Chain A
Amino acid sequence: DIQMTQSPSTLSASVGDRVTITCRASQSISDWLAWYQQKPGKAPKLLIFKASSLESGVPSRFSGSRSGIEFTLTITSLQPDDLATYYCQQYNSYPWTFGRGTKVEIK
């Protein structure tokens, strides 16, 4: 199975800060990576697909990028509504696998 290693596991930032979350795959997954946002008690919500494509309706402050097997989710200006846990997920090969999540806290 492809392992997805996310870091950090928790981060605390202020409103307006630029926030970066990283996800590293254990092998090549091309661009087949998605990012999800999960708020407490809710289902995950798709933010980014195919590494860097923004899902319809998602604010443009969210962006994704890829360098080899390392993927990055960036929030350019953190907002109070961004308090959540963020997950990466590969869909290059079965079984689909997820990272362990990054909890974003607001200072």
Chain B
Amino acid sequence: GQQLNQSPQSMFIQEGEDVSMNCTSSSIFNTWLWYKQDPGEGPVLLIALYKAGELTSNGRLTAQFGITRKDSFLNISASIPSDVGIYFCAGQLDSNYQLIWGAGTKLIIKP
């Protein structure tokens, strides 16, 4: 089946550090969605991207739709404790509109 490679799988960072994660695939996507899931909760939409090259911000979060339409990245600047959680990417395939999910990036902030 179609696959999205999300990396890293987990990140251990210090409060205040910037964070970067990405999703890549061999397939072409027409939409990228980034979600965050807190423990015991459902995923919450952070950023939606609809055009190749699009760069969108939501507070300290910035995401980009790769120009090749095969990848996307999410950056978090100046991380704070409430940023901990699991971040998921999801891309909609251009070929059949199916939504494909990454396996998640677990963000842990070191005390």
Q: Do A and B bind each other?
A: no
Q: Which residues of B contact A (CB under 8 A)?
A: none
